[in-house]
Chains A and B, each alone.
Chain A
Amino acid sequence: MSEQTLPNPMPQGNVVSRIMYSRYTRLILILVFAASVLLPIVFMATTSIKQPIEIRESGAILPTRGIFTENWGRAFANVPLVRYLFNSTVVAVTSTLLALLIAVPATYSIVRFRTGGMVLPSLILGTYVMPPIVVSIPIFMMTRIAGLTDTLFGLILLHGMANLPVAVWLIDSYIRSLPVELEQAAWVDGYGRFETLLKVVIPLIRPGIVSAGMICMILSWNEFLFALILTYSDVSHTFPIGISRYEGEHGLQFGEMAAAALTGIIPIYLIVLFFQRYLVEGLTQGGVRG
């Protein structure tokens, strides 16, 4: 191959490569990928409008016995779904704020003051690697002693702490990439260390904080194990626990469950879409030599 052909991503004369790089191949691959992601959702949507008997009898994707919309009404009537979604939203938003409130100054301290030396960063990652089930019993005991079982506050605390390592991990690289001279300039110009963190560093690492927050919120929204252990009633059940409550006289009500599950996707998608606006990348580039 001569140098002139280098920019061309489609190598000449090789049939396999030509097929690999062809526009149609790419299109097909994208469709396959999209289908594998969307199929379960489509399946769930069609299940939510099937008659219960049809769900048990046939595995077909599309309803064959006509459209049955009653699942949707029953999903809200038989289980306090709105309450669960409300609980989930409160827990996800509040625990995320809690995690960020601790993670931002903690990460700043780890990066700029080397707090905890080499040990703390690996310890933080270590706590996240550990399977949550391992600590489920002590967590339950501790929560009970604190009198926080079956409360939203208990779950908020737990989710906040459990997601802290993720937040620290994500924010770390943002603070590291910030030239320290930007802070020193602010000290010289009249800010103290804390004001500099608040008014100079945080605005500059906002994309990192927002993305860490989004991840924390999604993790909290989907969290099942701790919610299962720590909540006993509608007061504190979250959405994932709620889904498992669709039991009727004839076993699990898959149609209602599908309707509820689809509903549960919506709030978290709205929240993430809302915060995506603040994900403006590359804010830290260009202000210093480079």
Chain B
Amino acid sequence: MASVEFKNVCKKYGDVEAVVEANWLCEDREFFSILGPSGCGKSSSLRMIAGLEEITAGEIRFDDEIVNHLAPRDRNIAMVFENWALYPNMTVFDNIAFPLQVRELPSSEVDKKVRRAMQFLNLEHLENSGVRGLSGGEKQRIAIGRAIVRDPSVLIMDEPISHLDAGLRSRMRDELKSQVSELGVTTLYITHDQVESMAMADRIAIMNLGRIQQVGTPLDIYHNPRNEFVAGFIGEPPMNFADCELVAENGKFLAKSSSFEIAITGENEQALKDYKGTTKLRLGVRPESTMLVPQSGAGTVSAVVDFVEHQGDRSFVTVKLSNGEIFLVEAESGVELEINENVNVKLEEEYTHYFDAENGLNILFLDEEHD
């Protein structure tokens, strides 16, 4: 087992900066997820950890050891590839036994370890079959078997379940999580699917455009997004955003736009007292922190109904503000509304975020910009 640390890690391909000054620490035995849209630098990060890619600048440490120049085979890592990378000319047993045979372990020990892994992953009945005809879920379990069979210090998984169909994916998510936590191995899990990260990871590092946006526990990231990108990327359905202007009136702060005027209170108000930046803000609020109310009031926005989507346990109402901006509002199951009906949307102050429209930072975390 080992911790994994990125210290100012950079990766350039020619002039393209794939990873810029990345810093994070994955603790020993932690399930750590690197999350981001395609092209965000997560795959480059993973390939640098595995030693498949050179590091342009910075340090990668396993525990206290700098591994920058170690060959993949000297890092004691195991990897589950996006396409599983099973050897098509070998049986299931031989695929799982491969890392042990490479290390020339005695065959009795190989046999024991492979059998234990196959039992653990429910693959015993497939021992002697080839890997070609197997289902996606089975191939995926074999790939995990090959990765865990030799007790690696770090287990790296690159979108291991992205290519399974939806039902199987959600089952494998639970299965994978319980398998990994049972093994107690440091796990780096790369994905573009925020649901996977949120459900499985102890902590998440969110990347975009080569930069780490935020590192934190799933709930921390969900409730305290450091910037507009993180706020918009995490959560399904995504957060609502609206342009507004910061206005000070009678010692109070107001978020004002052509379609609403909302008093800024609580933590946000505290943060704005020292705020020296632009007065252009972006208001962000999750659909679940909004509701339809009968009366207009201080914290409400008036809008018209555009679309209603019933999901059974709840409904989502798409409303249009007077300036054309769209909000998604969570409403009770089976809510009855006419299209173009006038409604009042209340935003829960406690869960409303304000972002600097220029740099996208959440005004609550402005100080942490340069850490």
For this complex, 17 residue pairs linking A to B, each with C-beta atoms less than 8 Å apart, are A181-B85, A182-B87, A184-B72, A185-B85, A186-B102, A187-B52, A188-B50, A188-B79, A189-B146, A190-B99, A190-B103, A204-B89, A284-B88, A286-B132, A286-B133, A289-B82, A290-B83
Chain A contact residue count (CB 8 A cutoff)? 23
For A283, list chain B residues within 8 Å (CB): 88-89
**Residue among A188, A190, A200, A203 with max Cβ neighbours from chain B (10 Å):** A188
Contact residues, B85-142 vs A (CB, 8 A): 85-89, 98-99, 102-103, 130-133, 136, 139
* Interface class of chain A by DSSP: loop
Closest to B134 in A: A286
- B73 in the interface (beta carbon within 8 A): yes
**Chain A positions within 8 Å of B82 at CB level:** 181, 289
Distance of A190 Cα from B76 Cα, bound (Å): 9
- Within 8 Å CB of A251, what residues of B? none
Contact in complex: A287, B131 (CB < 8 Å):
yes
- With a cutoff of 8 Å between Cβ atoms, the chain B residues found around residue A285 in the complex are 88, 132
Q: List A residues 77-101 near B (Cβ within 8 Å).
A: none
Cα of A188 to Cα of B72 in the assembled complex, Å: 5
Question: Which secondary structure characterizes the binding site on chain B?
Answer: loop
User: Separation in Å of the B49 CB from the closest CB of chain A?
Assistant: 11
Within 8 A of B (CB), among A200-249: 200, 203-204
Which residues of A in the span 110-136 have a Cβ within 8 Å of any Cβ on B? none
Please give, as numbers and ranges, the residues of chain B lying within 8 Å of A192 by CB-CB distance. 71, 73
Q: How far is the CA of A121 from the CA of B136 in the complex (A)?
A: 37
Cα A190 to Cα B149 with chains together (Å): 13
**Known contacts A190-B102, A191-B102, A289-B163: does B73 contact A179 (CB below 8 Å)?**
no
Judge whether B264 is part of the interface by a CB distance below 8 angstroms. Answer: no
Bound Cα distance A112, B73 (Å): 19
Assess whether B222 is interfacial by the CB under 8 Å rule. no
> Is the pair B85, A191 in contact by a Cβ cutoff of 8 Å?
no
How would residues 13 to 56 of chain B score, 1 for a CB under 8 Å from any chain A CB and 0 otherwise? 00000000000000000000000000000000000001110000
Assess the A188–B133 pair: CB atoms within 8 A: no
A288 interfacial contact with B, CB 8 Å:
yes
Whether A288 lies near B84 (C-beta < 8 A) is yes
Residues of B within 8 A of A284 (CB): 88
| A288 and B72 contacting across the interface, CB-CB below 8 Å | no
* Distance of A248 from chain B, by nearest CB (Å): 56
**Besides the contacts A182-B85, A185-B85, A286-B88, what 16 more A-B pairs have beta carbons closer than 8 Å?**
A179-B83, A179-B85, A182-B87, A184-B52, A185-B81, A185-B146, A189-B78, A189-B98, A189-B102, A200-B87, A287-B85, A288-B83, A289-B82, A289-B136, A289-B139, A290-B83
| B4 at the A interface (CB under 8 A) | no
Interface flag for B77 (CB, 8 Å): yes
Kindly identify which residue among A184, A188, A190, A289 contacts B84, using a CB–CB cutoff of 8 Å.
Answer: A289
Which residues in B have their C-beta under 8 angstroms from that of A179? 83, 85
